[in-house]
Amino acid sequence: MIKESVGIVETKYFHIEEPIKLDSGKVLDNVTVAYETYGELNKEKSNAILICHALTGDAHAAGWHKGDKKPGWWEIVIGPGKALDSEKYFIICSNVLGGCKGTTGPSSINPKTNKPYGLDFPVITIGDMVNVQKKLVDSFGISQLTAVIGGSMGGMQVLKWMVKYPEMMKKAIPIATTAMSSPQQIAFNDVGRQAIFADPNWNKGNYYETGELPKNGLSLARMIAHITYLSDESMDIKFGRGLQDKDEISYDFSVDFQVESYLKHQGESFVKRFDANSYLYITKAVDLFDLRINDSLIDGFNNIESKVHIISVDSDWLYPTEQSTEMVTALNANNVDVSFSEIKSNYGHDAFLLEKGQLNFILSKFLSESIVEDLMMEKIVTIRENANVQDAAKMMLDKHVTHIPVVTDDYKLIGIVTSWDLSKSIATNSNQLKDIMTTTVKYCHAEDTIEEIARMMRKFDISCLPVVDGDMKVLGLITTDQISNLLS
């Protein structure tokens, strides 16, 4: 275990009391969500990041379970000092609905029959997964996430969060993903499902009580999928045409090449940790994913509020860069604050799990590029010019604040009153707010960078700034304490 790790962690479980209505119209009762968290939620509950896992991932994104030989699946970017710094952020990762690692799925017990659901489990969507994640996030009392981040199917979840809950995150980072599954992607998933269906032990999904699992079908499905996660270059570098445990071709149908042995191993190890029915349901959810409205991705992205950074991989042929740039174009058409990076790698689609250096750099840079909107307090108190000093003093005591913007009836900024101004009122024996408030008030805009605002505050020795829009209407406040906490 390296010192940058979050250390030993445990999977926790959240039970959703109310029924979950699915996109299909069906309802799921007694849903349980398996999740892990890393770091501490701050007092304001403003430092949370949600991590969304890929197709066969789980809640164990970082750290170590007792007795494990390897850490969580995204250990390379989560932990002290890494891009997703557990000493700065409160990081949440949950197993998706339909999974088999603790969250309710087809292998879970159906409360109506007291037997595993099997194919009685309803078909789910990426949107259903996101709705369940939203319930988990709400349970922490978090009103807005610092960011939602994920790759592959996790990236689809990020995109769905952006569309369905646009106000719930400040930043979004979809990685190596697409806004709609293409025919080729659907085809690969379907071949994998057909392999499971063809396994005689699948038994129409009712294999839990027979003790005979559809291992061959699930193993084949994994082998097919795993080919799409690699690139031709990475396979050539890793295997070439090297023979496996032999010096010459056998001229039969045994394993000759290293790449054959590798895929066989991937399939055999996969069946030890994953459920065949879960594979069916999750791949189907991926196939159904399409964020277009009226066949238009521009229309589908018309209500996004978060800052977005899209990341692709240059050697990814499962979700190629062209699909990422299409999303960038659609977001730009909607005036969304979007940026784009392409990871240079020969690993193919799996690069988002492997390219430690590039990922830490890109994620750190985007998360640290904070603007006033990322930090400002929005639920603030204001006061009218015709109020008296006693009104302002009582408001400061009741709300525990030291700065109150003075506004017109339509919330346009005309001044500010501070605890220092109240002291001045005693010295000058003034009772009217307009006699003691500061009218030459400094202010900033939501899109100003934190660095710019920090310089302004130091220059004028200011501890608090009102945030206004183009019409001078007050949107919130930003303080030196908030900036100091961010920069530290």
Dihedral angle at the C-alpha atoms of 168, 169, 174, 180, nearest 10 degrees? Answer: 30
Distance set, CA 278 to CA 125, 243, 420 (Å): 13, 34, 63
Per the annotation, the verdict on 349 as an active-site residue is yes
Q: Which one of 94, 152, 278, 425 is the catalytic residue?
A: 152
The rounded Cα 67 to chain-centroid distance in angstroms is 28
Token couple for 239? 């295997």
Nearest to 241 by CA among 219, 259, 224, 216: 259
Per the annotation, the verdict on 152 as an active-site residue is yes
> Quick one: 125 exposed, middle or buried, by C-beta within 10 A (0-12, 13-18, 19+)?
buried
Q: Is 122 in contact with 24 (CB distance < 8 Å)?
A: yes
Could you tell me how many residues make up the chain?
A: 488
Q: Is 367 in contact with 337 (CB distance < 8 Å)?
A: no
CA dist., res. 437 & res. 431, Å (int): 11
Which distant-in-sequence residues (6+ apart) come within 8 Å of 182 by Cβ? 323
Instruction: Give the β-pairing of 27-28 and 20-21.
Output: antiparallel
Q: Is 264 in contact with 256 (CB distance < 8 Å)?
A: no
Per the annotation, the verdict on 400 as an active-site residue is no
User: What DSSP letter does each residue of 233-262 carry, written as one string?
Assistant: HHHHHHTTT-BSS-SS--SSSS--BHHHHH
Distance set, CA 475 to CA 93, 155, 181, 471 (Å): 32, 31, 39, 11
Q: Which residue has the tokens 């569309």?
A: 163
Q: Which one of 53, 309, 349, 403 is the catalytic residue?
A: 349
CA angle (259 as vertex; 254, 260 as ends), nearest 5 = 25
CA dist., res. 61 & res. 83, Å (int): 14
What is the phi/psi pair of residue 310, to 5°?
-100, 135
Which distant-in-sequence residues (6+ apart) come within 8 Å of 279 by Cβ? 56, 192, 193, 196, 218, 221
Q: Which one of 316, 350, 374, 421 is the catalytic residue?
A: 316
Helix (H, G, I), strand (E, B) or coil at 64: strand
* Measured distance between the N- and C-terminal CA atoms of the chain, rounded to whole angstroms: 26
Token couple for 17? 């009391």
Token couple for 134? 């939203």
CA dist., res. 180 & res. 178, Å (int): 5
Q: Which residue has the tokens 């009391």?
A: 17
Query: Looking at the annotation, which residues are catalytic?
Result: 152, 316, 349
